[in-house]
Amino acid sequence: MYQHPSCTIIELGLKDYAQVWADMRAFTDSRNAESADEIWLVEHPSVYTQGQAGKAEHLFNPGEIPVVASDRGGQVTYHGPGQLVVYPLLDLKRLKMGVRELVTRLENSVVDFLLPFGIESAPKADAPGVYVQGKKIASLGLRVRKGCSYHGVAINIDMELAPFKNINPCGYEGLQMTQLSEHAKQNVSVASVTNGFLSSLTHNLFKAEH
């Protein structure tokens, strides 16, 4: 497993969204100025999550997939197996990092991660996330409490994209989604790409320390 001196990296495997969300809140509430930062890696069973800006009309056919109202920023999105979800639990005050800078560093982490696959991607100023040829490959949503961040970034690796058709992803009608497996010239899975993304993420998050 990839290790980094600036944080503790925890792999959770496939775990229920609501439970991980509760654990993130508990961790954030209990930490103090000496608490080590952590990065959690997880896949979630199928779930729609509504951010604080979420509107019911953007979720028009959930079917049997559960819906969870979350305290993260942003609007509605979908999580499911085959998507790498990364939660950086960071003391932003200690890192002297603002929320906007954290968003930028997370987006840059995805862009850098995709380059070795020959994939060019970019964020959009008016729609947080990372896009490949106009289609969204990574979604972001954050919450900051006590100067510390939780929630994070979800990267579509090799998953079932059909559930995205039942929502306006992140509130944008007609927004198309894509995933790494549609562009990579090799077989990919969450397990096979996790270390590569962690390398990109920790470089972007902690590069000012070195």
Enclosing domain of residue 57: 8-209
Q: What percent of the chain has pLDDT over 90?
A: 79
* Dihedral sign from CA coordinates of 182, 183, 186, 190: negative
- Structural domain includes residue 46: yes
**Averaged pLDDT, 118-144:** 95
- Structural domain includes residue 121: yes
Per-residue pLDDT of 53-103, as tens digits, reads: 777 777 777 889 999 999 998 888 999 999 999 999 999 999 999 999 999
DSSP string, the chain: ---BTTBEEEEEEE--HHHHHHHHHHHHHH--TTPPPEEEEEE--SEEEE-TT--GGGB---TTS-EEE-SSSS-EEEE-TTEEEEEEE-BHHHHT--HHHHHHHHHHHHHHHHGGGT---EEETTEEEEEETTEEEEEEEEEEETTEEEEEEEEESS---GGGGGB-GGG-TT--B--GGGT-SS---HHHHHHHHHHHHHHHHHGGG-
CATH number at residue 16: 3.30.930.10
- Structural domain includes residue 3: no
pLDDT confidence tier of residue 210, bands split at 50, 70 and 90: very low
pLDDT confidence tier of residue 191, bands split at 50, 70 and 90: very high
Residues 6+ apart with CB under 8 A from 76: 48, 49, 50, 51, 54, 55, 58, 59, 167, 168, 169, 170, 171
Short-list 140, 134, 132, CA closest to 184: 132
**Averaged pLDDT, 168-184:** 85
- Structural domain includes residue 65: yes
pLDDT of residue 175: 83
Q: What percent of the chain has pLDDT over 70?
A: 96
| Strands of the sheet with 135-145, listed across from one edge | 8-14, 38-43, 83-89, 148-156, 135-145, 127-132, 122-124
d(CA 38, CA 31): 11
- Structural domain includes residue 137: yes
What's the total number of domains in the chain? 1
> Nearest 5 degrees, angle CA 30-CA 79-CA 161?
165
Catalogue the active-site residues: 170
pLDDT of residue 85: 99
- Structural domain includes residue 2: no
